[in-house]
Amino acid sequence: MKKRLFTAVASIVGILAVSGSTLAHHGTGISYDLTVRPVTARATVTEFKWANPHIGIYVDIKDDTGHIENWSIEGNSPYNWARMGWNRKTLKVGDEITLTFYRSKVPGVHAGVIAKAVLPDGTEVLRFQRDEPTAGDGVR
Amino acid sequence: MRNRLKSLVVALLAMASFSSIGLAQTTTSRASAVSGQFDAHDLTGVWQRGGDRGINPVVPEMTPEGLKMFNANKPSYGRPLGAPLNGEHIGRVRAVPPAQGNSLVGDCNPPGVPRLYFEPEPVEFIQGPGKLLQFFSWTRALREIWTDGRMFPEDVDALMPTWYGYNIGKWEGDTFVVDSLGYDERSWLDHFGYPHSAGMRMQERFRRVSADTMEMVLTINDPLIYKTPWVSQKNIFKLVPRKELTLNGWYGFLEGICAPIDEGDFNSRVRNPAGGVTR
């Protein structure tokens, strides 16, 4: 419990520390709909690409019928996430995570931007957007 | 052969001299930041600018040629295209998904200056004899600002246009003034897609106001595009503490290179589908 609390506090502090760059990431509120509640789903990591200037997280998610869908999720830059203590080993292929993300504005497209990833033990790793949607035109 | 060897030795000595001075001054700057004392004529150090990604929300009136270039640019920063203006300049309310935009940076082309200042990444200033080097962590771009008393090149239009300018610096009291020209008109002035012509002249005025703070105001003079000079907001740079640039016990900039092989992969798998573009 203490560890979770520490993780949560550390994450918030981290977000505040990089908020200038995080919030100004290009096209985040343009390509993705930050005005509606994000999706939270169990996901299996198929690839974690730690590359400049955008990290890509590729996962499998089961839909309501049990069918597996491939999703492409946009992350922050290695620069910003490295400063928050994460690295290319933070996720690995086969990891089962709980992923929260905002979907693309394009209907039917399996792409999104990450809000957060949580490991099975409850540890939050990777944080880019807030959990709560934003008002107005969705640009943070 | 002998001449070549001599040139090589001279070049190596010059590089060694330049880098050692740079390193020494970096250390001095850090020590000064701790004591609160500083030398107003020493800009050496790793700096990070705060603020938004533009020159100034207040924009001078554009010429017909300027408007034509402005309208051709499709940036992905600001509020979405079509949103109410709320008194803002249209340049701050015309963002399209990056997949539908046309920023050259989206394919890892050089941002150029002044745009590179507006990335939220640090830049190192290294003062040496005859020039000040700016080392931008993002894209690892180097910009030379010559302080050896030279004049601009003759017939600059005959030379290759540049992303980072032909730059001359000099001290006016405690202000370091940089005049530059010879820019490639394909770069954007900032992330909001404001244009400039090949005839743009830029002046940057840097002033170290405390041990850990530097201010800079830049002015764009480009009568082909803007009817009056465009003066930036005051840009505030803070000295970056060493611990913020230390990862796994290793101090220094991360390699912030925009590699087309990685960006192309990301664009085709994430950016483009997310923006409704299939390619």
B83 domain residue, yes or no: no
Residue A68 has pLDDT above 60, yes or no: yes
d(CA B180, CA B200): 9
Structural domain count of chain B: 1
CATH of the domain at A78: 2.40.50.140
B79 domain residue, yes or no: no
Closest chain A residue to B268, measured at CA: A72
Give the domain extent around B131: 19-73+103-274
B223 domain residue, yes or no: yes
Give the domain extent around A28: 2-127
A99 domain residue, yes or no: yes
- Reported as a single tens digit per residue, the pLDDT across B92-110 is 999 999 999 999 999 999 9
- The answer to whether B222 and A45 have CB atoms below 8 angstroms apart is no
CATH of the domain at B209: 2.40.128.20
- The answer to whether A111 and A11 have CB atoms below 8 angstroms apart is no
A137 domain residue, yes or no: no
A83 domain residue, yes or no: yes
Using pLDDT thresholds of 50, 70 and 90, give the confidence band for residue A26.
low
A27 domain residue, yes or no: yes
B132 domain residue, yes or no: yes
Residue B232's contacts (CB-CB under 8 Å, 6 or more residues apart) are B55, B56, B114, B216, B217, B218, B219, B220
- The mean pLDDT of chain B is 90
A135 domain residue, yes or no: no
- Reported as a single tens digit per residue, the pLDDT across A95-139 is 999 999 999 999 999 999 999 999 999 999 999 999 999 887 777
Closest chain A residue to B92, measured at CA: A139
B64 domain residue, yes or no: yes
Report CA B138 to chain centroid distance, whole Å. 10
Going from the C-alpha of A31 to that of each of A73, B80, B178, the distances in angstroms are 12, 10, 38
A91 domain residue, yes or no: yes
> What Rg value do the Cα atoms of chain B yield, rounded?
20
A132 domain residue, yes or no: no
- Reported as a single tens digit per residue, the pLDDT across B14-73 is 443 343 333 333 434 444 455 689 999 999 999 999 999 999 999 999 999 999 999 999
Structural domain count of chain A: 1
The interface predicted TM-score of the complex, written ipTM, equals 0.84
Residue type (1 letter), A101: F
> Which residue numbers of B have CB closer than 8 Å to A's CBs?
50, 52-53, 76-80, 83, 95-99, 101, 120-121, 137-138, 191, 244, 247, 254-259, 262-263, 265-266, 269-271, 273-276
